[in-house]
């Protein structure tokens, strides 16, 4: 897997990189390219789009109250990429993405991996 991060400040980019590195290690994302960008959006916390079988784009809002919320949003979108890559999810996949985002975010913060 390869990734590129654009926009955001140094702290935001560091957190995004830590989240990406953790997910690369734990999720089946072989052969996937992720372009993650930070933008001053207010319509959502973030979203992911699949441009083709191997390329994905993630947009994360820079308008959040807590770094933990931003962390959860990044992981939430990476869970969706895992779902698309594996073809495995229940319903619209939101419940799993929410649950995993909280779980992994808490793990990363508590283990001082961020």
The band of 114, judged by pLDDT with boundaries at 50, 70 and 90, is confident
The band of 109, judged by pLDDT with boundaries at 50, 70 and 90, is very high
- In this prediction, residue 75 carries a pLDDT of 96
Rounded alpha-carbon distances, angstroms, from residue 7 to 58, 93, 110: 12, 27, 26
Q: Looking at the DSSP assignment, which residues form a beta bridge with residue 48?
A: 58
pLDDT at 11 over 90: yes
In tens, the pLDDT along 59-101 reads: 999 998 899 999 999 999 999 999 999 988 888 899 999 999 9
- In this structure, which topology does domain 2-110 adopt according to CATH? Zincin-like (3.30.2010)
Q: Pairing state of beta strands 2-6 and 33-39? A: parallel
Q: Give the mean pLDDT of 3-10.
A: 96
Strands of the sheet with 2-6, listed across from one edge: 2-6, 33-39, 55-61, 46-50
């Amino acid at each position: 897997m390869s990734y590129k991060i654009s926009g955001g400040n140094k702290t935001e980019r560091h957190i995004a990189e830590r989240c990406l590195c953790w997910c690369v290690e734990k999720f089946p994302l072989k052969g996937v390219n992720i372009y993650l960008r930070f933008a001053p959006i207010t319509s959502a916390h973030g979203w992911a789009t699949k441009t083709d079988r191997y390329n994905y784009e993630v947009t994360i809002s820079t308008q959040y109250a807590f770094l933990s919320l931003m962390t959860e949003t990044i992981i939430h979108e990476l869970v969706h990429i895992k779902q698309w890559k594996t073809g495995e999810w229940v319903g619209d996949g939101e419940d799993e993405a929410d649950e995993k985002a909280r779980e992994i975010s808490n793990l990363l913060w508590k283990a001082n991996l961020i």
